[in-house]
């Protein structure tokens, strides 16, 4: 029942709580400008810090971003898993999802069965950790509910294992760049 409510909430432009393979998250429809705005407001996230997307599969991610060459190789090796790839965007998304100026988007396929089921049903979601910006991360639906209460429409039950946020690699230039080192260790130059 909660799963169906989460699907309905996403279609209605509301925020949902979701367990991921790293930390518990909150997410919204990345095509809905108002929903993404509420996500940023709820988290207190700076506008210049774009949110990436979680997708159910490589094929679903390819509907949103150009995943070819090295990006495809990395995705096939590490997805599902804690690797976010910044790639050229193929679609228009809400402000602050990806980088509108560079026309790029961060994409990841998480390794969590509940979240993968939801993503298969509703498509890619803009997801960020379920904590106020700079605050301690939450790992369960109960912890996230204690932080956000009724501001999140539906919390999917589940526990995230914790640990570091995903590794982020920008593969939009000739030389790929590690923007954030995380659980997936890849030897590339590091960004600023």
Closest residue by Cα to residue 154 from 53, 45, 52, 13 = 13
Check whether 142 has a pLDDT greater than 70: yes
CA distance 85 to 41: 25
What is the per-residue pLDDT for 104?
A: 93
Are residues 11 and 22 in contact, defined by beta-carbon separation less than 8 angstroms? no
Give 150's DSSP letter. Answer: G
Q: Which two tokens stand for residue 69?
A: 């060459």
Sign of the alpha-carbon dihedral angle for 61, 142, 39, 136: negative
Please report the DSSP string for 16-60 in residue order.
EEEE-SSSEEEEE-TT-HHHHHHHHHHHT--TTS-B-EE-SSHHH
Check whether 189 has a pLDDT greater than 60: no
Does the global pTM surpass 0.85? yes
Q: Report the percent of the chain where pLDDT is more than 70.
A: 96
Classify 2-165 by CATH class.
Answer: alpha beta
What is the per-residue pLDDT for 190?
A: 59
What is the per-residue pLDDT for 188?
A: 62
Check whether 24 has a pLDDT greater than 70: yes
Query: What kind and span of H or E run contains 127?
Result: strand 125-129
What is the per-residue pLDDT for 98?
A: 82
What is the per-residue pLDDT for 134?
A: 86
Q: Please give the average per-residue pLDDT across 17-36, as a whole number.
A: 94
Longest dimension (CA), the chain: 47
The band of 191, judged by pLDDT with boundaries at 50, 70 and 90, is low
What is the per-residue pLDDT for 111?
A: 95
Torsion angles phi and psi, residue 117, rounded to 5: -65, -45
6-10, 141-145, 183-187 — which is least confidently predicted? 183-187
73-107 residue pLDDT tens: 999 999 999 999 999 999 888 777 888 888 999 99
């Amino acid at each position: 029942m909660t799963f169906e409510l989460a699907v309905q909430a996403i279609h209605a432009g509301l925020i949902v709580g979701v367990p991921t393979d790293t930390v518990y998250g909150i997410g919204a429809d990345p095509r809905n400008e108002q929903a993404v705005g509420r996500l940023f407001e709820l988290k207190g996230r700076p506008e210049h810090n774009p949110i990436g997307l979680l997708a159910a599969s490589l094929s679903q991610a390819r509907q949103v971003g150009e995943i070819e060459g090295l990006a495809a190789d990395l995705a096939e090796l590490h997805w599902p898993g804690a690797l976010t790839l910044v790639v050229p965007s193929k679609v228009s998304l809400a402000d602050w999802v990806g980088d509108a100026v560079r026309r790029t988007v961060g994409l990841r396929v998480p390794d969590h069965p509940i979240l993968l089921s939801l993503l298969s049903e509703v498509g890619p979601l803009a997801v960020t950790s379920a904590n106020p910006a700079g605050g301690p991360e939450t790992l369960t639906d109960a912890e996230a509910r204690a932080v956000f209460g009724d501001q999140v429409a539906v919390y999917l039950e589940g526990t995230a294992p914790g640990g570091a946020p995903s590794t982020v690699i920008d593969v939009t230039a000739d030389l790929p760049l590690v923007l954030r080192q995380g659980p997936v260790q890849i030897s590339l130059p590091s960004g600023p």
